[in-house]
């Protein structure tokens, strides 16, 4: 296994760049397929959410894999590689596994502990498996990540770790608008995130909830679930004027609420002149023109701003058990992989021993001539039992030792002692597992790679 992660998220990139790198499901699938057509990426899956774009890949070479992923990300997103690289992070082998497990648990989410990421990871895997870009290695890894994410939600206090983005937005709205039972809300969009927003708004006891969507049927079903009112898209201006709180989740191309529409809505709010209006923009790309925050009486909270609110909630106590669970699961997974990687060495040893036995039995037969079949059979069984007993303890022990950190050295020693040939190609020794933002992306293959053979960064060759 040589798993590599290259990506960017809300932790490393501004929201403007995340908007430009957002991919629809078809483009995300094509990204994975395009990577597998390269020379160094064997399997790949792409995880695209409102605040991250990541590629998980099984690669034959570290440098070549990083280079191919970086170039393909630039090609598919249309963002120049030079601009992307400042915000990309790279995780390799154990660090890659740990990162995916944290992501699946929601520990790396903007709303820490949210469970929506589990569905997004599952969808990414199914899409990649359907296209053939994800096979045994990536499939097994992601399935384990999903299992760890489920454990985190059922066995720890993760679900109580912090408020969701919607709840954080409602908290902000309460501060600016007063009691929510006197607030009129308008939700733009009728997808999964809109459903969460409508349900959260209903539980919060808002005075009224309207739902506006390009598809009136979907808006009607969502509004009916909470006793709300569906709004056709052509009636958006009047609905906007009537709303105190606007929650947007459409993620459309272009702003649904631009400055001109916001100004017109403000002018039409004659029933409550001067009453503040709050916009909670949960979409990426954004639905609301950020410049309307400069208008009198309007406040805008987008994903980036809400993320800052959530990060200040002080969640360390609730998350302590989750971090322990993830650390234990990562070590168990890596130990299992190390044990599996020694299997070819054990097979080679047993094959060599079997070959030696057969050769010596044939030599014996040629020297002693005809032998009673029963005696010959007993002789063969005896020799095989002796060899089996001699090999049993070393092969069992090498599997146990290989599961421990650094255990690959025992398998290598076995290959050297019995002259079993070179170790099968796999992980690249000496490379760092986690590379910080700003390191040089290995776009060029050796010898032009910015990494030295020891895995350290040669800064004389430039920074990413």
Residues forming the active site: 50
Question: CA-to-CA distance for 246 and 249, rounded, in angstroms?
Answer: 10
Packed helices 373-402 and 316-341: angle between N→C axes, nearest 10 degrees: 150
Question: CA-to-CA distance for 262 and 214, rounded, in angstroms?
Answer: 19
User: Tokens 């398998």 — which residue?
Assistant: 411
Write the CA distances from 449 to 85, 445, 446, integer angstroms.
15, 6, 5
Collapse the DSSP code of 277 into the 3-class scheme (helix H, G, I; strand E, B; otherwise coil) and give the result. strand
**Following CA atoms 173, 179, 185, 188 in sequence, which dihedral angle do they give, to the nearest 10 degrees?**
30
Alpha helices in 156-269 (DSSP H): 165-177, 192-203, 216-224, 236-242, 259-268
Question: CA-to-CA distance for 70 and 174, rounded, in angstroms?
Answer: 43
CA angle 424, 425, 428 (to 5 degrees): 130
Contact 90, 440 (CB under 8 A): no
């Amino acid at each position: 296994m040589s798993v590599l992660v290259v990506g960017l998220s809300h932790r490393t990139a501004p929201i403007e760049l995340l908007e430009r790198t957002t991919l629809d499901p078809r483009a995300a699938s094509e990204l994975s397929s395009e990577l597998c057509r390269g020379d160094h990426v064997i399997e790949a899956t792409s995880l695209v959410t409102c605040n991250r774009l990541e590629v998980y890949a099984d690669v034959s070479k570290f440098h070549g894999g990083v280079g191919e992923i970086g170039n393909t990300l630039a090609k598919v997103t249309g963002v120049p590689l030079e601009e992307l690289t400042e915000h990309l992070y790279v995780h390799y082998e154990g660090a890659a596994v740990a990162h995916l497990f944290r992501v699946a648990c929601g520990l790396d989410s903007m709303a820490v502990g949210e469970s929506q990421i589990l569905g997004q990871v599952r969808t990414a895997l199914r899409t990649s498996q359907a296209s053939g870009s994800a096979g045994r290695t990536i499939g097994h890894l992601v399935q384990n990540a999903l299992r760890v994410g489920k454990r985190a939600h059922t066995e720890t206090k993760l679900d109580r770790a912090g408020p969701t983005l919607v709840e954080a937005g409602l908290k902000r709205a309460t501060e600016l608008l007063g009691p929510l039972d006197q607030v009129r809300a308008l939700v733009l969009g009728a997808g999964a995130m809109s459903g969460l927003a409508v349900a959260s708004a209903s539980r919060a006891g808002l005075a009224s909830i309207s739902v506006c969507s390009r598809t009136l049927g979907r808006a009607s079903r969502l509004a009916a679930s909470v006793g709300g009112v569906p709004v056709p898209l052509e009636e958006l201006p009047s609905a906007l004027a009537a709303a105190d709180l606007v929650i947007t989740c459409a993620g459309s191309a272009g702003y649904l609420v631009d400055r001109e529409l916001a100004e017109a809505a403000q002018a039409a709010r004659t029933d409550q002149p001067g009453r503040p209006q709050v916009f909670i923009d949960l979409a990426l790309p954004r639905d609301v023109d950020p410049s309307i925050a400069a208008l009198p009486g309007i406040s805008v909270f987008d994903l980036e701003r809400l993320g800052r609110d959530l990060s200040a909630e002080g969640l360390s106590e609730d998350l302590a058990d989750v971090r322990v669970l993830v650390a234990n699961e990562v070590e168990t997974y890596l130990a299992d992989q190390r044990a599996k990687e020694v299997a070819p060495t054990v097979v080679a040893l047993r094959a060599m021993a079997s070959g030696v036995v057969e050769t010596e039995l044939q030599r014996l037969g040629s020297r002693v001539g005809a032998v009673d079949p029963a005696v010959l059979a007993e002789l063969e069984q005896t020799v095989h039992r002796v060899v089996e007993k001699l090999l049993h303890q070393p092969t069992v022990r090498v599997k146990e030792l290989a599961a421990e950190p650094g255990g690959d050295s025992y398998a290598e020693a076995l290959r050297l002692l019995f002259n079993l040939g070179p170790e099968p190609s796999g992980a690249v020794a000496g490379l760092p597992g986690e590379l910080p933002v700003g390191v040089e992306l290995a776009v060029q293959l050796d010898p032009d790679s910015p990494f030295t053979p020891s895995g350290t960064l040669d800064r004389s060759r430039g920074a990413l």
